[in-house]
């Protein structure tokens, strides 16, 4: 086997007049080079440097995406899929220019089946929009990465979130997708049955490929019946280690906890101030339970016993909706709350995931590391999965901040890798973690990724400069 | 993009003397051309024609596999990975000769972590061996395809089974694998964290690739704590349709049923005779519940209400171990029981999966179709997933039987595809379903699979003649 460790290199070049003409004549007003749009499509929510596309095309159908890719492939023009722009590693930044293809007009829920517990949506449907659509039908889609991302974007980055410990991630809940390949051809990755062993798993190949192999235009998703009862609970711990031990035990005995989130004492302090919660400023676990009243009661009881046994204090349940919502709203607003503690600060959010047996050690060492710097960086984590984030606030006008934070992040990732963990549990590689990916998976795996990339996108027009 | 719809063609050629010398000098007694071994490695448990390899190599380590592939790649010799030989579509048959690489000596459980609920095993570990290893530790690995397959083989075919409705399939429970590529290089598909968004999903690329892209030598698996209580139940229905409606409702309201299996009246009649059960000969659902006593009680109660509401008769639970085991043993022996009804018969097992809303219709039409022939083919199904099997018994000495059964299978698959289902829910493509795969996924998806195959195995030495 040849081992092409490289993919086709790119440099930034201007769109040719012919390319502009071809795209304009096909797309009319859906094609724009207006500065406001170029600026909007130059960046995501991360600290990575922006870079404008040469033009933006607002796709309204799979056919639009197909025609766009066919024309761009003909003219060797980069294409960068764009959804909500909420990614955190520069995924949507057109670092070599080209066309940012905006999918947010493809925002229809195409079908919902209550019997099959699945639905098909266009890629530009927003997560909260889908929730709203499903709620009156007694259904919900559980993946909740925090941000109101598009479903297509969530699949492209392999997103997960607070409910993954119970319901799974995009990797487990996307049943199939419609994909436009770099040359404009359209394929379905699979049929609509719940499972299949038919051929190579193209669905998973495109989940987490970050727009580097093609454009996702439609997705069929597993959905769930809204639980009869949703109940939340909080419990404080004297230290992170005992909290994690309690989490391990809870999962081991098979409590089907729907969410189990950790905030360290600094994160609790921040949400206290921001949402006026008055929580004791200790490491905190937030739990949620879903099911029939009997199941939820029994699981709450069992969890409370385990939490207490591992030193948990003040286990409090809140079944009534407003207090449960307030609690989880505070968790969801944690990043905002943390940001608000440092006026004019910007967020730098890390994302490692380790085997849960090493999680406490990884968090404690990271807290120590941060403490030795001048930076402010509380921790929140989807601890049931071993995944946690440093939510650092940095001052962009002070170059020291970014430098120190980059070093903390580098050490954090080395720490996670030394524990057999990953450099990214749910945010993806983007431009920010390409070197870490190589360190994580090794040269042979990288060369297989390059073989796949070169086979499917030999021109390297799809989101060049990302992942590999 | 070029569209190589073909992969490199092969014909059967003899091993060269040099290839034999190279392999013998590296493998000594691990290399054999003894007829008994060649015969054993010529076929799986299906009705597909056998074909002997030129030699068998018993691998004892990843290094053995690597050296075997390096040498075979040098001499352009096909390599066919072999585990338990329990596949059902001719997956392990060396149709172009070459080396059958037997992995059953790689049978060590390498590590088990109770805290992380994961374990790492060599590919040749058998499913029941793993169960036995985990049981004293209060742990279990849930994927149960019926046969005592090897874990590597189960990953290679994308296996699932009776517990998939609750715990998932190989696709969801394999965390990572060690893979030997066709040229002998070794890679890890991922680290050991519970989730990761780092780069292309190589784990899923190799799950279900049926040995056509490389050899799986080690696997890290999610495992679970043994439930405190396991309780089973049976319920009869007047017809298949009401049974399926009850299943749909049970899943919709979120009863976390661990198994939910259907046997049609003919399958029930067969296990009655074989295992002396005395069940009424109606369509039967077998259910299993896992959890704490409170959770299991509550779920049993809810399930029983739903079953009764949809016409279920005689809902009977059996919590005591011997009667539960007897019931599930009967289910596991169903294929044997069915085979025993026709002395000298051979099994022809089909495997479609459809969206559950179409499942009753698909089963009823299939029963009608079988009734119009002279064949005997009861149905059992993992109905929570929409997956079912015709367990046909055919007489190989009567050519009409195979012809008629092939036609039934063809119509069954067309029916499943017309319902947006798949030609294989869990058995895979092998040699038996290559045309159906093309029909199912279409030319564009097939061409992407060919691109991947050609990129990773340009010589087509890995299990040639399978999948694509």
Cα separations in angstroms, A198 against A190, B388, B421, B430, B446: 8, 15, 11, 10, 11
Query: Closest partner residue to A356 among B116, B182, B458, by Cβ?
Result: B116
Rounded CA separation B164/B161 (Å): 6
Vertex A169: Cα angle to A166 and A175 (nearest 5): 110
Tell me the per-residue pLDDT of A92-108, one tens digit each, with 9 for 90 and over.
999 999 999 999 999 99
Rounded CA separation B171/B256 (Å): 20
User: What angle do the packed helices A293-309 and B293-309 form, to 10 degrees?
Assistant: 170
Chain A residues inside the 8 Å CB shell of B422: 190-191, 193, 195-198
Helix (H) or strand (E) holding A152: helix A151-157
Contact at CB, A298 and B298, closer than 8 angstroms: yes
- Encoding tokens for residue B214? 């490389």
Q: Tell me the average pLDDT of chain B.
A: 95
For domain B109-225, say whether CATH 3.40.50.1950 is its number: no
Assign A5 a pLDDT band (cuts: 50, 70, 90). Answer: low
Rounded CA separation B265/B284 (Å): 7
**Strands laid side by side in the A118-122 sheet:** A109-113, A118-122, A215-222, A174-180, A186-188
Q: What is the structure's pLDDT at A219?
A: 98
- Encoding tokens for residue A48? 């990575």
Q: What is the structure's pLDDT at B327?
A: 82
Please report, rounded to a whole number, the percentage of residues in chain A having pLDDT higher than 70.
99
pLDDT above 60: residue B2: no
A421 and A386 Cβ atoms separated by less than 8 Å: yes
Vertex A103: Cα angle to A98 and A105 (nearest 5): 130
Cα separations in angstroms, B308 against A289, A337, B305: 28, 51, 5
Q: What residue spans define the domains of chain B?
A: 17-104+449-456, 109-225, 229-335, 341-437
The 8-class DSSP code of residue A258 comes to: S
Mean pLDDT confidence for B103-124: 98
Hey, which CATH number is domain B341-437, 3.30.70.2740, 3.40.30.10, 3.40.50.1370, 3.30.70.1560?
3.30.70.2740
Q: What is the structure's pLDDT at A1?
A: 43
Q: What is the structure's pLDDT at B323?
A: 80
Assign A322 a pLDDT band (cuts: 50, 70, 90). Answer: confident
Mean pLDDT confidence for B348-374: 97
B221 and B174 Cβ atoms separated by less than 8 Å: yes
- Encoding tokens for residue B328? 């599930």
Chain A residues inside the 8 Å CB shell of B207: 201
For residue B222, the chain A residue with the least C-alpha distance is A355
Rounded CA separation A172/A279 (Å): 35
Rounded CA separation A82/B293 (Å): 49
- Encoding tokens for residue B94? 């060396």
Assign A194 a pLDDT band (cuts: 50, 70, 90). Answer: very high
- Encoding tokens for residue B137? 């530790």
| Cross-strand pairs, B380 | B263, B389
Hey, which CATH number is domain B229-335, 3.40.50.1110, 3.40.50.2300, 3.30.70.3450, 1.10.3720.10?
3.30.70.3450
* ipTM value greater than 0.90: yes
Query: Closest partner residue to B424 among A197, A207, A294, by Cβ?
Result: A197
Rounded CA separation A166/A449 (Å): 30
> In angstroms, what separates the C-alpha of B387 from chain A's closest C-alpha?
8
Q: Tell me the average pLDDT of chain A.
A: 95
> Can A109-225 and A344-433 be said to share one CATH topology?
no
pLDDT above 50: residue B274: yes
Cβ neighbours of residue A446 under 8 Å, at least 6 residues apart? A5, A437, A438, A468, B199
List the beta strands (DSSP E) in B132-207. Answer: 139-140, 174-180, 186-188
> What separation, in Å, do the N-terminal and C-terminal C-alpha atoms of chain A show?
19
Contact at CB, B299 and A298, closer than 8 angstroms: no
> In angstroms, what separates the C-alpha of A122 from chain B's closest C-alpha?
18
Tell me the per-residue pLDDT of B126-164, one tens digit each, with 9 for 90 and over.
999 999 999 999 999 999 999 999 999 999 999 999 999
Tell me the per-residue pLDDT of B365-407, one tens digit each, with 9 for 90 and over.
999 999 999 999 999 999 999 999 999 999 988 999 999 999 9
Query: Closest partner residue to B195 among A114, A353, A445, by Cβ?
Result: A353
Mean pLDDT confidence for B84-94: 96
Vertex B268: Cα angle to B373 and B126 (nearest 5): 100
Contact at CB, B291 and A185, closer than 8 angstroms: no
Contact at CB, B426 and A197, closer than 8 angstroms: yes
Cβ pairs A/B, distance under 8 A:
333
Q: What is the structure's pLDDT at A387?
A: 97
* A63 CB within 8 Å of a chain B CB: no
Q: How many CA atoms lie within 13 A of A172 on its CB side?
A: 27
- Encoding tokens for residue B172? 């969801």
Chain B residues inside the 8 Å CB shell of A442: 187-188
Assign A110 a pLDDT band (cuts: 50, 70, 90). Answer: very high
> Who wins on pLDDT, B14 or A134?
A134
CA B445 to chain centre: 23
- Rg of the Cα trace of chain B? 22
pLDDT above 70: residue B4: no
Q: Does pTM top 0.90 for this prediction?
A: yes
Q: For an interface test with B, which of A111, A168, A193, A204 has the most B Cβ atoms less than 10 Å from its Cβ?
A: A193
Tell me the per-residue pLDDT of A406-461, one tens digit each, with 9 for 90 and over.
999 999 999 999 999 999 999 999 999 999 999 999 999 999 999 999 999 999 99
A55 and A14 Cβ atoms separated by less than 8 Å: no
User: What angle do the packed helices A399-418 and A359-371 form, to 10 degrees?
Assistant: 160
pLDDT above 50: residue A2: no
Rounded CA separation A272/A280 (Å): 9
Contact at CB, A193 and B227, closer than 8 angstroms: no
Q: What is the structure's pLDDT at B5?
A: 64
Tell me the per-residue pLDDT of B41-65, one tens digit each, with 9 for 90 and over.
999 999 899 999 999 999 999 999 9
Residue of B444, B419, B439, B420 whose CA lies nearest to B429: B439
A233 and A304 Cβ atoms separated by less than 8 Å: yes
pLDDT above 60: residue B1: no
B195 and A169 Cβ atoms separated by less than 8 Å: yes
Mean pLDDT confidence for A341-349: 93
Contact at CB, A196 and B251, closer than 8 angstroms: no
Contact at CB, B193 and A248, closer than 8 angstroms: no
> In angstroms, what separates the C-alpha of A172 from chain B's closest C-alpha?
7
| Residue for token pair 């021109």 | A459
Mean pLDDT confidence for B231-248: 96
Phi and psi angles of residue B232, each rounded to the nearest 5 degrees, phi first? -115, 160
Mean pLDDT confidence for B406-412: 98
Tell me the per-residue pLDDT of A201-216, one tens digit each, with 9 for 90 and over.
999 999 999 999 999 9
Mean pLDDT confidence for A374-398: 96
Q: Determine which of A187-191, A274-278, B90-94 has the lowest per-residue pLDDT on average.
A: A274-278
Q: Quick one: fold of A344-433?
A: Alpha-Beta Plaits (3.30.70)
CATH code for the domain defined by B17-104+449-456: 3.30.43.10
Window 329-388 of A: residues touching B by CB (8 A cutoff) are 353-357, 385-387
- Encoding tokens for residue B342? 């026709």
Long-range own/partner contacts, residues B162-165 (CB < 8 A, 24 or more apart): B162/B259, B162/B261, B162/B331, B162/B382, B163/B258, B163/B259, B163/B288, B164/A195, B164/B382, B164/B384, B164/B385, B164/B426, B165/B251, B165/B257, B165/B258, B165/B259, B165/B260, B165/B382, B165/B384, B165/B385
Q: Are strands B55-58 and B224-225 parallel, antiparallel or unpaired?
A: unpaired
3-state secondary structure of B101: strand
Window 177-216 of B: residues touching A by CB (8 A cutoff) are 181-183, 185-205, 207-209, 213
Window 208-267 of A: residues touching B by CB (8 A cutoff) are 208-209, 213, 224-225, 227-228, 248, 251-254, 256
Query: Closest partner residue to B455 among A420, A436, A451, by Cβ?
Result: A451
pLDDT above 50: residue A114: yes
For residue B384, the chain A residue with the least C-alpha distance is A194
pLDDT above 70: residue A54: yes
């Amino acid at each position: 086997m040849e081992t092409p460790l490289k993919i086709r290199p790119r440099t930034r070049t201007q769109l040719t007049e012919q390319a502009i003409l071809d795209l304009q004549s096909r797309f009319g007003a859906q094609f724009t080079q207006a500065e406001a749009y170029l600026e909007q499509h130059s960046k995501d929510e991360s600290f990575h440097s922006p870079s404008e596309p040469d033009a933006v095309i607002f796709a309204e159908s799979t056919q639009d995406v197909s025609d766009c890719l066919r024309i761009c492939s003909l003219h060797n023009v980069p294409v960068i899929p764009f959804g909500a722009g909420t990614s955190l590693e520069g995924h949507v930044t057109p670092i070599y220019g080209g066309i940012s293809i905006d999918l947010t007009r493809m925002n229809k829920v195409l079908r919902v089946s209550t019997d099959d517990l699945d639905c098909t949506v266009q890629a530009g449907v927003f997560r909260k929009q889908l929730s709203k659509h499903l709620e009156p039908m007694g259904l919900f889609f559980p993946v909740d990465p925090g941000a109101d991302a598009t479903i297509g974007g969530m699949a492209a980055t392999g997103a997960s979130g607070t409910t993954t410990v119970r319901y799974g991630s995009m990797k487990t809940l996307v049943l199939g997708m419609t994909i436009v390949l770099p040359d404009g051809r359209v394929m379905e990755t699979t049929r609509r049955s719940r499972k299949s062993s038919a051929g190579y798993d193209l669905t998973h190949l495109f989940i987490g490929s970050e727009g580097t192999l093609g454009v996702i235009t439609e997705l069929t998703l597993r959905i769930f019946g809204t639980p009869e009862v949703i109940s939340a609970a909080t419990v404080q711990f004297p230290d992170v280690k005992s909290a994690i031990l309690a989490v391990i035990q809870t999962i081991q005995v098979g409590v089907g906890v729907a969410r189990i989130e950790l905030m360290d004492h600094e994160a609790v302090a921040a949400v206290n101030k921001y949402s006026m919660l008055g929580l004791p400023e200790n490491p905190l676990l937030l739990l949620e339970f879903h099911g029939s009243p009997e199941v939820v009661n029994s699981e709450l009881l069992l969890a409370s016993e385990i939490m207490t046994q591992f030193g948990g204090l003040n286990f409090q349940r809140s079944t009534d909706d407003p207090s449960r919502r307030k609690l989880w709203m505070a968790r969801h607003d944690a990043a905002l709350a943390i940001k608000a503690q440092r006026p004019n600060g910007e967020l730098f959010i890390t994302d490692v995931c380790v085997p849960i047996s090493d999680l406490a050690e990884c968090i404690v060492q990271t807290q120590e590391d941060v403490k030795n710097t001048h930076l402010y960086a509380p921790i929140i984590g989807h601890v049931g999965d071993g995944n946690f984030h440093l939510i650092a606030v940095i001052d962009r006008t002070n170059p020291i901040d970014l430098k120190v934070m980059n070093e903390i992040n580098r050490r954090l990732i080395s720490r996670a890798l030394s524990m057999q963990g990953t450099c990214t549990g749910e945010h993806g590689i983007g431009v920010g973690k390409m070197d870490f990916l190589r360190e994580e998976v090794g040269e042979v795996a990288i060369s297989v990724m390059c073989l796949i990339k070169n086979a499917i996108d030999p021109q390297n027009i799809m989101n060049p400069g990302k992942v590999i």
